[in-house]
Structure 1
Amino acid sequence: MVSYRWLEKLLFPRTLINWNKLRSELDDKTILITGASSGIGEQVALMLADLNVHMILVARRGEKLLALKQAIEHKTAQVSVYPADLRNKEELEGLIAYIEQLSGGLDFIVSNAGISIRRSIHDSLDRFHDFTRTMAINYMAPVQLLLATIPLLGTSKGHIINVSTINVLLLPMSHWAAYQASKSAFDTWFRSTALELHTMGITTTSVYLPLVRTPMIEPTQAYRSMPAMNPYHAAQIICKSMYTRKRTYKPWWILFGQWGSLMFRWLWELWIPASLRKRRS
């Protein structure tokens, strides 16, 4: 399922899942997966299809969710789909109402829904809506969803898995202001809240992923030739965290990136503006 070039094999070592542990941990559990219609969320759902779980799959594209349900429903897992744009207040509140009436409660949330925008600030001067819609899905929606479901997760001693990005751990990049601000906002909120959630018996995991080859990155041509993690591999990491319950996942090399961000920030902040000026001239 994972085909890597040599550099990708080095950057993204294999993840092995103990299926017996995962099966035991998830037996008869209810799992909510947002952003489930493609990419990482879809791969997580397919990976859990042979387990005795109830998956609630959420995404904007209802037809994609129904196709995914049809691909899974002849297997072991029970699947419910809830089409919703989590940026829409009414649709998000509808999802919350649906979850609250579940007879079996809720055990896991995989917070995966998100949007990425790459645009220079010069091209954003008349596009404030880029920032509001990015903040809406990457920050406001997961905050509201978790605030509503924390009581259910407290009862079940549940587990929240936030699918984040290594960008929040490194220096900000030009052209990514909307995306990085929104992802950093939720990462900070989630880590702060985790300190209290742990006292309630709720486990939290922050999965800091590198570039992943999903439909979300396709519009950015520069990413097509860059090393990227396979979404199946990302799903393996998420599923493994369901039984290891580790607080974080980070690529092995991210420490070098963080060290470089600290030591060479001054050089970065000199080089990037000079590079941008050269492109415009």
Structure 2
Amino acid sequence: MHNYTLLERALFLSPSLNFEKMKKEMDGKTVLITGASSGIGKEFAYLLANTTAHLILVARREASMNVMKVEIEKATASVTVFPADLRNEEELKGLLAFLHQLTDGVDVVVSNAGISINRPIAQSLDRYHDFTRTMALNYFAPVQLLLSLIPVLEKKNGHIINVSTINALLFPIPHWAAYQASKTAFDTWLRSAEPELKIKNISTTSIYLPLVKTPMIKPTIAYQTSPAMSPVHVAEIIGHVLYTKRKVYKPWWLILGQWASVIFRSPLSFIVLRLLRKKERERGNV
């Protein structure tokens, strides 16, 4: 299964995708996919190739998305490529203007674009932009996008899918302050807005993921040998929630981590502090 090791097979269980049900749900609909040029967004776009959906691919790398468009349109889906850096206010406004002029509107928003950063606070003292650019893409951009599209989604009984991280639900750890704060911010925003959106017949799904084998994890050396999900597998999970309207997906073992984050908060704080001090001492001895 997805070239997983035995450990990964045990860790990353999920319901199987029924392609025909997904196709029936998606045929003729318009799907916006952010972060579409690689990883999860790319694999999800290919998953929909044999439907009659209209896929709007949004990312910075236009050349990559143009290749995807040619390949996907060999099947039955249609593709519009819209290159944009969602951290750029003008480019985001351009995307919104384009989406609002669509005759058929938007049925599904897959909020997948994101940026990760692993850096100690001590190395960010003169790098405030580490936090502003991370919040810009992981929080402010999807909020602005959805605020603009809620009236459109209401007319279409739409569906918002947030590709999130297990870190948003777990004990926060050092060196990931910018990333965890930004992902938690949007996760909290969407969960807070969910009852209001439901009244408007807009479904929401939050997908909490562990490590995924995407370009985002490459800069962190320790992750290269860690168990990680296949982006193809994640794409299938997104495909599954399209027709089930499941509100939450998270690994079966995450509940244990959530309990530990609450029950053992003080011991975890002590352990993290000791490990951090040990690491600092080792650095000082180099």
TM-score (norm 2): 0.97
**Residues 31-42 of structure 1 aligned to structure 2 (within 5 Å):** 31-42=31-42
Given that residues 56 and 80 in structure 1 are in contact (C-alpha distance below 8 angstroms), is that contact kept between their aligned partners in structure 2? yes
Q: Once superposed, what is the RMSD of the aligned Cα atoms?
A: 0.9
Distance in 1 of aligned mates of 2:15 and 2:190: 25
Q: How big is the shift at 1:78?
A: 0.3
**Contact persistence 1:157–1:202 (CA under 8 A):** yes
Tell me the SS of whatever aligns to 1:206.
Answer: strand
Question: How many residues of Structure 1 are paired with residues of Structure 2 in the alignment?
Answer: 281
Q: Which residue of 1 aligns with 2:102?
A: 102
- Is 1:225 equivalent to 2:191 in the alignment? no
1:128-277 aligned at under 5 Å gives the runs 128-277=128-277
- How far off its partner does 1:15 sit? 3.7
- Map of 1:19-38 to 2, 5 A cutoff? 19-38=19-38
Alpha-carbon distance in structure 2 between the residues aligned to 1:27 and 1:173? 42
Task: Flag structure 1 segments of 5+ consecutive residues without an equivalent.
Answer: none
Is the Cα–Cα contact under 8 Å of residues 15 and 236 in structure 1 kept in the other structure?
A: no
Specify the code of the residue in structure 2 equivalent to 1:227: P
Within the alignment, does 1:127 sit opposite 2:134 as a pair? Answer: no
TM-superposition CA deviations, 1:209-257 (whole Å, max 9, x none): 1111100000000001111101000111011100000111111111111
Q: Counterpart in 1 of 2:2?
A: 2
Q: Is the 8 A contact 2:14 2:237 kept in 1?
A: no
Q: Secondary structure at the match of 2:238?
A: helix
| Mapped partners of 2:106, 2:274: distance in 1 | 51
Task: Give 3-state SS (helix, strand or coil) of 2:105's partner.
Answer: coil
Whole-angstrom CA distance in 2 between matches of 1:149 and 1:19: 27
Deviates more, 1:270-279 or 1:24-33: 270-279
Q: Measure the CA separation in 2 of the matches of 1:36 and 1:187.
A: 20
Q: Please say if residues 205 and 247 of structure 2, whose CA atoms lie closer than 8 Å, have aligned partners that are also in contact.
A: yes
| 1:15–1:233 contact (8 Å) kept in structure 2 | no
Task: Give the distance between the partners of 2:275 and 2:14, measured in 1 at CA.
Answer: 36
**2:82 matched to 1:82?**
yes
Shift of the alpha carbon at 1:18? Answer: 1.2
SS in 1 for 2:54: strand
Runs (4+) off by over 4 Å: none
- Partner amino acid, structure 2, of 1:168: A
Cα distance in 2, alignment partners of residues 51 and 41 from structure 1: 16
Q: Give the TM-score taking structure 1 as reference length.
A: 0.98
User: For residue 238 of structure 2, what is the amino acid of its counterpart?
Assistant: I
In the alignment, structure 1 residue 11 sits paired with structure 2 residue 40: no
**Residue type at the aligned position of 1:277:** R
State the SS of the aligned residue for 1:21.
helix
Q: Distance in 2 between matches of 1:242 and 1:275?
A: 42
Counterpart amino acid of residue 88 in structure 1: N
Q: Which amino acid in the other structure matches residue 53 of structure 1?
A: A
CA distance in 2, matches of 1:210, 1:275: 22
The share of aligned pairs that are identical, in percent, is 57
Distance in 2 between residues matched to 1:15 and 1:230, nearest whole Å: 15
SS of the residue corresponding to residue 90 of structure 1 reads helix
1:14 Cα deviation from its structure 2 partner? 4.8
CA distance in 1, matches of 2:280, 2:106: 52
Structure 1 residue 153, shift from structure 2 partner: 0.3
Partner Cα distance (2:163, 2:154) in 1: 20
Tell me the CA shift for residue 182 of structure 1.
0.3
CA distance in 2 between counterparts of 1:113 and 1:251 reads 21
CA distance in 2, matches of 1:43, 1:145: 22
